[in-house]
Amino acid sequence: MKAISCQELSWKYSGRKRFAVENVNLDIEENTFVSIVGPNEHGKTTLVSCIKGLIPANYHGIWYGKVEIFGEDNRNITGQKMASEVGYVFADPESQFTSMTVEEELVFGLENIGLPFQVVHDRLEWVSEITLIKELWDKSPYEISGGQKQRVAIASVLAMKPRIMILDEPTSMLDPIGKDSIFDIMTNVKNETKMTIIVVEHNIEQIAPLSDQILLMYEGQIAKMAPPEEFFNNSDFLVDHGILPPQATAFVDRLKQDGFYDGVLPVDYEGGVKATRQVLQRHTA
Ligand SMILES: Nc1ncnc2c1ncn2[C@@H]1O[C@H](COP(=O)(O)OP(=O)(O)OP(=O)(O)O)[C@@H](O)[C@H]1O
Ligand SMILES: [Mg+2]
């Protein structure tokens, strides 16, 4: 089933000359992991805001087209239903905090949707494990590290068990160790749930191996959308659109262009080693 369908979707912020998102047609199947990449100011945040319904609800502008969430026009979905269907994690985690302790922060949304005590308890245990925040429960969400804040923000959205989870640059404000832990969490969520996950991310190296599909936003339009092996198959096109492929991909693509390799392009280190082995075997035989 389609989790998300955008049909000829366009949005122009009021006062702007150009459309930030222009004539986007996009289908995302449920239980897939889609990463959105592209240079700054090319419409990534605007697109995910339209999917979540933050646009047009909270902004002035011009909207054309339609977004469907599991077949339903998202402008007809109530706020409460939207909260449990589509989770949204902002780049700046503090912007979503409302409580004095991490525990309250997690419980808040769950109590709002009226879940029984035992379910709330089980959900808290589950998200705390997946996001490694158990030791933070009684801390203030404002007085923990940046990486911990982002883990709490993800946990509070995950606790709602939305069918779709959107993360807009969840690692952009973190140091390398903090970034790694967010990629670990995204890996856990991908493996343990059937959620449809959409991540806007600049770190191609780390997001590519997790992705079922990579979507390139350029000048408000979808310039390319494909599974990773296919997405990276034209380095020149990507570089022209401000994207650098993962190192392993770029290296093997070079071997391919020089006629040493004709297989599928790898997207991570392990794949790179395998492809390089094939090249060595063939050329030393
Ligand atoms: N609230 C707003 N009001 C007016 N224009 C906006 C607003 N938010 C974004 N824009 C404009 O819309 C276009 C797309 O911006 P958007 O934030 O969607 O890009 P992005 O790809 O998410 O960029 P980044 O990588 O910097 O987060 C840009 O030209 C931007 O200046
Ligand atoms: Mg953005």
| Whether the Cβ atoms of residue 156 and residue 122 lie closer than 8 Å to each other | no
Token duo for residue 84: 């449990």
ω into 162 cis (within 30 of 0): no
Mutate which of 16, 171, 221 for ligand 1 pocket (most atoms within 8 A of beta carbon): 16
CA of 44 to the centre of ligand 1 (A): 8
The pLDDT of residue 64 is 98
pLDDT band for 285, please (50, 70, 90 cuts).
Answer: low
CA-wise closest residue to 138 among 93, 178, 94, 104: 104
Decide if pLDDT at 203 tops 90.
Answer: yes
What residues contact residue 173 under an 8 Å CB cut-off, 6+ apart?
A: 91, 92, 146, 150
Tens of pLDDT, residue by residue over 254-279, are: 999 999 999 999 999 999 999 999 99
pLDDT confidence band for 114 (50 / 70 / 90):
confident
Separation of alpha carbons 135 and 121, rounded Å: 16
Q: Which residues make Cβ contacts (< 8 Å) with residue 33, sequence separation at least 6?
A: 186, 190, 196, 197, 199, 210, 211, 212, 213
Calculate the average pLDDT of the chain.
94
Specify the pLDDT at position 222: 98
Q: Where are the domains of the chain?
A: 2-245, 246-285
Each residue's pLDDT tens digit, 16-66: 999 999 999 999 999 999 999 999 999 999 999 999 999 999 999 999 999
User: With contact defined as beta carbons under 8 Å apart, do 155 and 147 qualify?
Assistant: no
For residue 42 and ligand 1, the question of a CB distance below 6 A is answered with: yes
**Gyration radius of the chain over CA positions:** 20
Whether the CB of 35 sits within 6 Å of ligand 1: no
DSSP-based three-state secondary structure for 180: helix
How far apart are alpha carbons 147 and 93 in whole angstroms?
Answer: 9
What pLDDT, on the 0 to 100 scale, is given for residue 109? 81
Pocket test for ligand 1, best of 45, 88, 241 (most atoms within 8 A of CB): 45
Specify the residue with its C-alpha closest to ligand 1, atom 7. Answer: 13
Q: Is 62 in the pocket of ligand 1 (CB under 6 A)?
A: no
Q: Where are the alpha helices (DSSP H) in the chain?
A: 44-52, 54-57, 79-85, 102-112, 117-131, 146-158, 176-192, 204-207, 228-231, 235-240, 247-257, 269-284
d(CA 276, CA 283): 11
Tens digit of pLDDT for each residue in 65-99?
999 999 999 999 998 889 889 999 998 888 889 89
Residue 108 has pLDDT above 90, yes or no: no
Tens of pLDDT, residues 225-247: 999 989 998 888 999 999 999 99
Residue nearest to atom 23 of ligand 1 (CA): 41
Position 192 scores a pLDDT of 92
Which CATH class for the 2-245 domain? alpha beta
**By CB neighbour count within 10 A (0-12 exposed, 13-18 middle, 19+ buried), where does 136 fall?**
buried
- pLDDT of residue 115 exceeding 90: no
Find out whether the beta carbon of 20 lies less than 6 Å from any atom of ligand 1: yes
Ligand 1 atom at minimum distance from 220 CA: 14
Tell me the ligand closest to 37's alpha carbon: 1
